[in-house]
């Protein structure tokens, strides 16, 4: 995982988890590495890994019981909330960028549809 300098590392790690939960790469009930293992794997401070897990527990992305490895949530509502959150963030950033160059909405929608379909076909061919 590559970290950028724009946002705190713990938020970048949480987003990394959210993206994998939203896409199904991490499935409900799947064990995740211990805090110490995650810190070593990502090359981050163990206190940062602790903060990541605490925040993910508060957001109900993971469940942690005493002396048992943490697991990805099995709650479909949480997964849907994560997908919706990620989509809203992406769309908001996109809309802001498009509005800055004053592209009409109908042109934006047409271009989005074309690019989306082209990308979809490209994934099927890969």
Cα–Cα distance, 69 to 71 (Å, whole number): 6
pLDDT for the residue 9: 96
Domain span including residue 118: 77-125
pLDDT for the residue 77: 97
**Bridge partners, 72 (sequence order):** 62
Report pLDDT digits (tens) over 25-35. Answer: 999 999 999 99
pTM of this structure: 0.84
Same domain? For 66 and 87 the reply is no
Q: Is residue 3 in some structural domain?
A: no
Q: Is residue 2 in some structural domain?
A: no
pLDDT above 80 (res 124): no
Rg (CA), the chain: 18
Q: Is residue 85 in some structural domain?
A: yes
Same domain? For 81 and 69 the reply is no
Domain containing 64 — which CATH number?
1.10.10.10
């Amino acid at each position: 995982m590559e970290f950028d300098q724009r946002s705190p590392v713990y938020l970048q790690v949480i987003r990394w988890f959210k993206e994998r939960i939203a896409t199904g790469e991490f499935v409900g009930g799947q064990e995740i590495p211990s805090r110490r293992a995650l810190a070593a794997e990502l090359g981050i401070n163990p206190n940062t890994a602790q903060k990541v897990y605490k925040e993910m527990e508060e957001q109900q992305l993971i469940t942690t019981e005493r002396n048992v490895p943490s697991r990805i949530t099995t709650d479909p509502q949480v997964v849907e909330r994560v997908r919706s959150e990620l989509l809203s963030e992406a769309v908001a950033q996109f809309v802001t960028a498009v509005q800055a160059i004053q592209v009409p909405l109908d042109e934006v929608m047409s271009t989005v549809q074309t690019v989306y379909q082209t990308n979809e076909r490209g994934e099927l061919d890969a």
